[in-house]
Amino acid sequence: MDKIIRVDMSQLTTRTEAVPPEWAGLGGRALTSAVVAKEVVATCHALGSNNKLVFAPGLLSGTSAANSGRFSAGAKSPLTGTIKESNAGGTAAQMFARLGIKALIIEGMPVTGKWYGLQVNKDGVSIAEESELVGKGNFAVVEALSERLGKKTGLLTIGPAGEMMMLSANISVKDSDGKLRSHGRGGLGAVMGSKRIKFISIDDAGAPGVKLADPAKFTAAARVFARSILDHPATGQGLPTFGTAEMVNIVNAAGGLPTRNFSLGQFDRHEAISGETLREVIIERGGKPKHGCQPGCIVQCSQVYLDKQGNYVTSGLEYETIEMLGANAGVGDLDVIAEADSLMDDIGIDSIETAVAFGVAMEGGVLPFGDGAEVLRILRDEIAFGTPLGRVMGSGAGNVGKVYGVRRVPVVKNQGIPAYDPRSIKGIGITYATSTMGADHTAGYAVGTNLMGVGGGVVDPLKKDGQVELSRHLQIITVMLDSVGLCLFLGFPAADMPTCVPALVDMLNARFGLKLTPEWFGLLGVTTLKTERAFNIAAGFTNKDDRLPEFMCEPLPPHNAVWDFTGEEIDAFWDF
Amino acid sequence: MKVTINLFATFRDGRFKGEQRELAEGTTLRQAIAGLGIAQGEVGMALINGRHAPLEHPLAEGDVVALAPSLAGG
């Protein structure tokens, strides 16, 4: 990967640059965050011409390394006001890597009032005015562009939510089945919309491909790496069998399943929305219980969900979407949740933020708890068309709470808290509080250690002991995964299988002809987290923003657990 | 004594989802797991009344036990 491509949407010009030495060893999140921190004025308006939208494949993307095809998108987030990196599967990361593109940096915004499409190929990138697809949902965009440019074309698109610059708008990535994966969190679709880019197509015909410095060493290490993934019970058995929804029954049993807008920790109909039930329903209807979000995935935690008549509804139905709509909003019905998931993909809106927003809206009296039909109607008739209610619902849980006078609003740095209540699973609470991204379970997934003892034993989820250290360790490790282009779940074998991280380092060295050590990863994590935090501080954030909402001190049944960390205890997170 | 046992994921295969069982007084969590034919090394999460408990913990009348294999991610 030897070039950086810049697109200036103010001037409607493009240029290709060599990779500066300071960015040569970076990829994925480490790179997008380095670019944003260096080039974006932290106090800028996230939807203005001074923000930049950066895409970068991981360091190992495009190689045969298992699960290395995650694609990072970065910018200042319009939802949180912080720096943001959101990564997704699909085919874009591998295509970028084959084209030798280390990063695509989109700057400025047009004054023409027109919409544009970008075409990335072996010669660079070109800008073309787009009118046909403006206003269209993501599925129509994928269909039209597959026809126009060929089925093999890679795609990044925004739906109506991104065009309207809704703060929950996501960026969709086409996967190898022509379906969608999402850069979901933080409203990056609104940033793309502010730059008037409806889609970015990727054509890797004639690409130079990924060259390995030591192919034999790479292949040997890749084999050991893959074996460590398959031998770990989480990535080798649990996730491929039940998908991420495996967590519904587990988290419910532990009393940390957000229910009725975070007022309860258990849901009486948990079995109906569990991973076990999901698997049964999928198999019964002839869907696919296993599916990868990216070519080369050997975990296959995704799935293809069909309706009762056997028609395709959605793929990649995740625990967070299922839980937040199913239990927290009380919908309790997989068919309704799957349809909502499909609608959110088409509209181009984050299924976590939007689901959290529904819980808040229900508490605010906008619709009754459990009213799945009204959830679908609001998605279809209000959010998709940007009616006043739709605009409010599309602006994130925090804003919905403000508009409807709700006191129990589960957000940190204005980003919705996902499907683990931090009072009963305290390690993830430290991650929500301190993450540079706002509340984000993927920034340091303490749930695995709190509930299942990943990485050397259970750290009791109901006690404060060890949680700050656990979250810090995981947040540093997660930067490694996000920068190499690896799926988050590879954190489990990385923590438990002694062969995993050495094989990963061997692959990087064999790919680039380097002599990195496992310690290098730790340093990358530390440097990146500190870079991201420095951006946030320059944007006006302080340690007082690293706090959970006030209502978290109210007891959560069944354990009557409360969030009882002092500010000082939370701030110790940054002592490294 | 009567104890409710809830099983998750693959632990349900050939067993059950949730059942109330009659166990001898003083039965420990370890003994209850062994009695289900589940190898100790397969257990990823063992809760008594929603809380993590050591394997030697004796069960009591009315306890709810939750057992899951090593799953980890969502």
Take residue A419 and report the two structure tokens written for it: 């499907």
Q: What is the pLDDT of residue B71?
A: 84
Q: Quick check: A128 pLDDT over 80? A: yes
3-state secondary structure of A442: helix
User: Which of A238, A319, A420 has its CB closest to that of B9?
Assistant: A238
Strands, sheet with B2-7, edge to edge from the N-terminal-most edge strand: B18-22, B2-7, B64-69, B43-48, B51-52
Alpha helix ranges (H) inside A286-333: 319-323
Asked if B9 lies within 8 A of A276 by C-beta distance, the reply is yes
Q: Quick check: A549 pLDDT over 80? A: yes
User: Which of A237, A319, A558 has its CB closest to that of B74?
Assistant: A319
Q: Tell me the longest C-alpha to C-alpha distance in chain B.
A: 37
Cα–Cα distance measured from residue A198 to residue A25, given in angstroms and rounded to the nearest whole number? 31
Contact call for residues A28 and A484 (beta carbons, < 8 A) = yes
DSSP H or E stretch at residue A16: strand A13-18
Percent of chain A at pLDDT > 70 equals: 100
Boundaries of every domain in chain B: 2-69
Q: Phi then psi for A138, rounded to 5 degrees?
A: -60, -35
Q: Which residue of B has its CA nearest to A425?
A: B51
Cα–Cα distance measured from residue A433 to residue A49, given in angstroms and rounded to the nearest whole number? 30
Neighbouring CB atoms inside 10 A of A487's CB total 26
**Residue A239 amino acid letter:** L
Q: Phi then psi for A120, rounded to 5 degrees?
A: -100, 130
Residue with tokens 């490694």: A480
Cα–Cα distance measured from residue A201 to residue A118, given in angstroms and rounded to the nearest whole number? 6
Q: Does A253 touch chain B (CB under 8 A)?
A: yes
Going through A179-324 in order, the beta strands assigned E by DSSP cover 180-183, 197-202, 288-291, 302-306, 312-315
Q: What is the pLDDT of residue B74?
A: 78
**Under CATH, what is the fold of the domain B2-69?**
Ubiquitin-like (UB roll) (3.10.20)
Cα–Cα distance measured from residue A156 to residue A35, given in angstroms and rounded to the nearest whole number? 20
- Rounded to 5 degrees, what angle do the CA atoms A221, A222, A228 make? 90
Asked if A452 lies within 8 A of B17 by C-beta distance, the reply is no
Q: What is the pLDDT of residues A27-74, one digit of tens each?
A: 999 999 999 999 999 999 999 999 999 999 999 999 999 999 999 999
Q: What is the mean pLDDT of chain A?
A: 97
Mean pLDDT in residue range A446-451: 97
Q: Is A365 exposed, middle or buried (0-12, 13-18, 19+ CB in 10 A)?
A: exposed
Take residue A333 and report the two structure tokens written for it: 């019905």
CB pairs under 8 A between A and B: 100
Q: What is the pLDDT of residues A237-269, one digit of tens each?
A: 999 999 999 999 999 999 999 999 999 999 999
Q: Quick check: B61 pLDDT over 80? A: yes
Single out the residue of B32, B30, B23, B34 nearest to residue B62, CA to CA: B23
Mean pLDDT in residue range A550-561: 98
Q: Which residue of A has its CA nearest to B18?
A: A271
Expressed in percent and rounded to 5, the helix, strand and coil fractions of chain A are 45, 15, 40
CA of A312: how far to CAs of A154, A242, A294, A305, A317, in Å?
22, 19, 19, 6, 12
Q: Quick check: A223 pLDDT over 90? A: yes
Q: Residue A165: pLDDT band by 50, 70, 90 thresholds?
A: very high
User: Which of A271, A448, A559 has its CB closest to that of B73?
Assistant: A448
CA-based nearest distance B50→chain A, Å: 5
Take residue A549 and report the two structure tokens written for it: 């909402």
Q: What is the pLDDT of residue A1?
A: 66
Asked if A453 lies within 8 A of B44 by C-beta distance, the reply is yes
Take residue A344 and report the two structure tokens written for it: 């959110």
Residue with tokens 């320059």: A538
3-state secondary structure of B36: coil
**Residue A89 amino acid letter:** G
List chain A residues with CB under 8 Å of B47.
253-254
Single out the residue of A10, A8, A1, A11 nearest to residue A31, CA to CA: A1
CA-based nearest distance B53→chain A, Å: 10
Beta bridge partners of A73: A55, A86
Q: Phi then psi for A575, rounded to 5 degrees?
A: -80, 70
Cα–Cα distance measured from residue A185 to residue A44, given in angstroms and rounded to the nearest whole number? 19
DSSP designation for A269:
T
Residue with tokens 């706002």: A438
Single out the residue of A205, A192, A131, A208 nearest to residue A156, CA to CA: A192
Tallying the residues shown for chain B, one arrives at 74
Of residues A316 and A530, more confidence is placed in: A530
Expressed in angstroms, the distance from the first to the final Cα of chain B is 35
Cα–Cα distance measured from residue A397 to residue A417, given in angstroms and rounded to the nearest whole number? 9
List chain B residues with CB under 8 Å of A318.
74
Work out the angle between the directed axes of helices A215-231 and A500-512 (0-180°, nearest 10): 160
Cα–Cα distance measured from residue A354 to residue A399, given in angstroms and rounded to the nearest whole number? 11
CA-based nearest distance B51→chain A, Å: 6
Cα–Cα distance measured from residue A100 to residue A95, given in angstroms and rounded to the nearest whole number? 9
Contacts of A494 (CB under 8 A, 6+ apart): A477, A480, A481, A500, A501, A504
Q: Quick check: A359 pLDDT over 80? A: yes
Q: What is the pLDDT of residue B15?
A: 98
Q: Which residue of A has its CA nearest to B10?
A: A238
Residue with tokens 């991280």: A501
Contacts of A239 (CB under 8 A, 6+ apart): A246, A299, A300, A301, A489, B71, B72, B73
Mean pLDDT in residue range A453-465: 96
Contacts of B31 (CB under 8 A, 6+ apart): none
Q: Residue A458: pLDDT band by 50, 70, 90 thresholds?
A: very high
Cα–Cα distance measured from residue A146 to residue A242, given in angstroms and rounded to the nearest whole number? 32
Percent of chain B at pLDDT > 70 equals: 100
Take residue A91 and report the two structure tokens written for it: 């085919």
Expressed in percent and rounded to 5, the helix, strand and coil fractions of chain B are 20, 35, 45
Q: Which domains does chain A have, with CATH numbers?
A: 3-202 (3.60.9.10), 212-242+422-576 (1.10.599.10), 243-420 (1.10.569.10)
**Residue A302 amino acid letter:** S
- Rounded to 5 degrees, what angle do the CA atoms A190, A193, A198 make? 130
Take residue A535 and report the two structure tokens written for it: 């951006």
DSSP letters, A516-544, are --HHHHHHHHHHHHHHHHHHHHHTT--GG
Contact call for residues A320 and A341 (beta carbons, < 8 A) = no
Q: How far is CA A323 from the centre of its chain?
A: 16
Q: Quick check: A511 pLDDT over 90? A: yes
Q: What is the pLDDT of residue A2?
A: 86
Q: Does A460 touch chain B (CB under 8 A)?
A: yes
Q: Residue A367: pLDDT band by 50, 70, 90 thresholds?
A: very high
